[in-house]
C-alpha cells in the first residue's frame, strides 16, 4: 500500500535522480548548478520524511499539544532542525557556485562547459 | 549511444542504491530517546513552545553560530571574487509597474518577515525563514530601483552588528548563566507569550537581521562589473 511516507521518500529519491541526470548531461553551467540544488532539495525531503512518525503533529506545544504528553504527540524535531541548517548551507554553496559561474562566464564569454579547456588533459 | 547507455546505468545504479537504503524502511511509532527528551524537557528548560527552535537555538546553538558563520564566509568570498570596478554601472530602467508595486509591497513583506522571526519561538518560522522574507523585500527594492534603492553600507553595518551581538549574547551566557548561549540568561517568562523563552527571541531577531542583510548583499553583489573590461 502506498502511504504518505513512501510518497515523500519516493519524491526525494526522484528529485535526487533528476539532479544527478542534470549534473551529468547538461552543458550549461547554470543548469548544472540547478541540478546540484535539485539533489540538495531531494536530500532535504528525504531527511524530513525519515523524521516523520505516524499520526503525529508538528513539534510545537500549544493548545492542541499539552506539554505533559508532547512526547506522544509530536514528530521528531531533530531532523527538522538539521534540515534548517542544511538549507542555509545549501544556499551558501549555491551562491558560491553562481559566483564562480559569473566569474568564468565573464572571463571566457561562454556558459558552455565544453568551452572550458583549461582543466582538460 | 554508449554515453546514453552509461548514463542509464549510472542513474539505475544510483536509484537502486537509494531504494535499497529506504526499501525496508519501517514507519516509526515512537520517538527515539533524545527526541523524546527534547519533547518532554524542551519547554521546561528553554521556554520555547516551538521545539524546533529549542533545538536550533538552545541545544544546538553552537551549530547555529557555525551556520551563520558559514553564511558570512560565503558573502565574504563572494565579495572577494566579484570585486567591483570603478566603471559606472549601467542599468536598464525598471518598469513603472515594478516600481509602483514594490512601493506598495515592500512594507508588507518586511512586516511579514519581522513577524516570522519575532515569533520564532512560538509559531513555525524563525530567524532564518524571517530573514529570507526580509531579504526578498530588499531584493525587490533593489530590482525596482537598482541605483539608489538600498544602501550597501547599511546592509554591511546591520550584518556586522547582528553577528557581533549574537556572539556577545553567547559570551554573556558564560559569565552570567550556565554556559555559552545559555537561554536562561533572561527569565523564561510564561509559555506562549511573546516575551518569553529567555534570550531565544533576541538571538532569533539578530539571526533574522543578519540573514536578511546577508542574502540581500549576496544578490546585489552578483551584479558584477569587472575591473578591466575592454569595451
Q: Is the pLDDT of residue A1 over 70?
A: no
Of chain A, the percentage scoring pLDDT greater than 70 comes to 94
Q: Residue with C-alpha cell 565574504?
A: B76
What single string gives the DSSP state of each residue in B172-223?
A: HHHHHSSSTT-GGGS---STTSSS-STTHHHHHHHHHHHHHHHHHHHHHHTS
The distance of A117 to chain B (nearest Cα, Å) reads: 20
Please give the Cα distance from B129 to B116 (Å, whole number): 7
CA-based nearest distance B148→chain A, Å: 23
**Separation between Cα atoms, residue B70 and residue A19, nearest integer Å:** 24
Nearest to B89 by CA among B148, B151, B155, B157: B148
For range B116-123, the mean pLDDT: 82
SS3 B124: coil
Contacts of A85 by beta carbon, 8 Å cutoff, 6+ apart: B56, B63, B64, B67
The pLDDT of residue B204: 84
Question: Is B71–A91 a contact, with Cβ atoms under 8 angstroms apart?
Answer: yes
Interchain contact, A102 vs B224, CB within 8 Å: yes
ipTM of the complex: 0.77
Strand partners, B50: A60
Among residues A67, A121, A27, the alpha carbon closest in space to that of B48 is found at A67
d(CA B163, CA B217): 15
Interface test with chain A among B16, B18, B62, B196, by most A beta carbons within 10 Å: B18
Is B18 within 8 Å of A17 when comparing Cβ atoms?
yes
What band does B15 get if pLDDT is binned at 50, 70 and 90? confident
State the CB neighbour count (10 A cutoff) for residue B187. Answer: 11
| Residue reference for cell 560565503 | B74
Closest A-chain CA to B9:
A21
Nearest-neighbour CA in chain A from B42: distance (Å)? 9
Residue B26 is classified by DSSP as P
Separation of alpha carbons A65 and A60, rounded Å? 7
**pLDDT score, position B231:** 39
Contacts of B75 in chain A (CB under 8 A): 95
Question: String of b and e for B17-48 (b: at least 16 CB within 10 Å)?
Answer: ebeeebeeeeebeebeeebbebbbebbebbbb
Contacts of residues B28-37 at CB distance under 8 Å and 24 or more positions apart, as own/partner, are B28/A52, B28/A53, B28/A54, B28/A76, B29/A53, B29/A54, B30/A53, B31/A53, B31/A71, B31/A74, B31/A76, B32/A76, B34/A78, B35/A76, B35/A77, B35/A78, B36/A71
- Name every chain B residue with its beta carbon within 8 A of the beta carbon of A105: none
What does the angle CA B61 – CA A95 – CA B206 come to, to the nearest 5 degrees? 35
Residues of chain B contacting residue A13, judged by C-beta atoms under 8 Å apart: 15, 18-19, 22
Q: How high is the pLDDT of residue B205?
A: 87
Q: Determine, for residues B27 and A59 on separate chains, whether the beta-carbon distance falls below 8 Å.
A: no
Contact A70 B52 (CB under 8 A): no
The residue-averaged pLDDT of A73-96 equals 86
Confidence (pLDDT) at B185: 67
Instruction: Give chain A's mean pLDDT.
Output: 83
Which runs of consecutive H residues, i.e. helices, occur in A1-121?
4-25, 29-50, 77-108
What per-residue confidence (pLDDT) applies to B89? 64
Model pTM greater than 0.90? no
Residues B124-167 pLDDT 10s:
878 888 888 988 888 888 888 777 667 778 888 888 888 888 88
Contacts of A89 in chain B (CB under 8 A): 67, 70
Which pLDDT value is given to residue B77?
Answer: 86
A32 min Cα distance to partner chain B (Å): 15
Tell me which residue in B18, B50, B226 faces A13 most closely, judged by beta carbons.
Answer: B18
Q: Which of residues 38-97 of A touch B (CB under 8 A)?
A: 46, 50, 52-54, 58-62, 67, 70-71, 74, 76-78, 80-81, 84-85, 87-89, 91-93, 95-96
The pLDDT tens digits of the residues spanning B48-102 come to 777 888 788 778 878 888 888 888 888 888 888 877 665 666 677 778 888 888 8
Task: Provide the percentage of residues in chain B whose pLDDT is more than 90.
Answer: 2
Place of cell 554573556: B172
Per the prediction, chain B carries an average pLDDT of 79
Q: Is the pLDDT reported for residue B227 higher than 60? A: no
Q: At what angle do helices B127-144 and B96-118 cross, to 10 degrees?
A: 170
CATH number 1.10.287.3510 is the correct assignment for the domain at A4-57+72-119: yes
- Can you give the pLDDT at residue B230? 44
Amino acid at each position: 500500500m502506498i502511504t504518505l511516507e513512501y510518497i515523500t521518500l519516493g519524491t526525494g529519491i526522484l528529485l535526487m535522480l533528476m539532479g544527478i541526470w542534470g549534473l551529468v548531461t547538461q552543458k550549461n553551467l547554470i543548469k548544472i548548478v540547478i541540478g546540484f540544488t535539485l539533489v540538495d532539495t531531494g536530500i532535504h525531503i528525504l531527511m524530513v520524511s525519515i523524521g516523520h512518525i505516524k499520526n503525529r503533529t508538528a513539534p510545537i506545544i500549544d493548545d492542541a499539544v499539552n506539554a505533559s504528553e508532547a512526547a506522544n504527540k509530536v514528530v521528531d524535531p531533530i531532523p527538522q532542525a538539521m534540515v534548517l541548517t542544511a538549507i542555509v548551507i545549501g544556499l551558501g554553496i549555491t551562491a558560491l557556485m553562481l559566483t564562480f559561474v559569473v566569474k568564468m562566464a565573464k572571463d571566457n564569454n561562454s556558459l558552455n562547459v565544453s568551452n572550458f579547456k583549461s582543466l582538460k588533459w | 549511444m554508449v554515453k546514453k547507455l552509461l548514463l542509464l546505468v549510472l542513474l539505475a545504479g544510483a536509484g537502486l542504491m537509494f531504494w535499497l537504503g529506504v526499501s525496508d524502511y519501517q514507519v516509526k511509532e515512537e520517538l527515539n530517546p533524545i527526541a523524546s527528551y527534547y519533547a518532554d524537557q524542551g519547554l521546561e528548560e528553554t521556554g520555547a513552545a516551538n521545539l524546533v527552535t529549542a533545538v536550533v537555538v538552545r541545544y544546538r546553538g553552537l551549530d547555529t553560530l557555525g551556520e551563520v558563520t558559514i553564511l558570512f564566509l560565503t558573502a565574504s568570498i563572494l565579495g572577494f571574487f566579484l570585486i567591483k570596478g570603478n566603471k559606472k554601472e549601467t542599468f536598464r530602467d525598471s518598469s513603472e509597474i515594478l516600481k509602483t508595486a514594490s512601493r506598495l509591497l515592500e512594507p508588507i513583506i518586511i512586516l511579514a518577515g519581522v513577524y516570522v522571526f519575532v515569533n520564532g519561538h512560538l509559531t513555525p518560522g524563525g530567524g532564518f525563514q524571517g530573514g529570507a522574507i526580509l531579504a526578498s523585500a530588499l531584493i525587490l527594492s533593489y530590482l525596482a530601483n537598482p541605483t539608489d534603492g538600498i544602501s550597501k553600507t547599511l546592509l554591511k553595518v546591520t550584518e556586522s552588528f547582528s553577528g557581533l551581538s549574537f556572539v556577545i549574547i553567547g559570551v554573556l551566557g558564560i559569565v552570567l548563566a550556565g554556559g555559552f548561549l545559555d537561554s536562561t540568561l533572561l527569565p523564561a517568562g510564561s509559555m506562549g507569550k511573546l516575551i518569553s523563552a529567555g534570550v531565544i527571541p533576541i538571538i532569533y531577531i539578530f539571526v533574522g537581521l543578519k540573514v536578511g542583510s546577508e542574502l540581500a548583499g549576496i544578490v546585489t553583489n552578483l551584479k558584477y562589473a569587472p575591473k578591466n573590461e575592454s569595451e
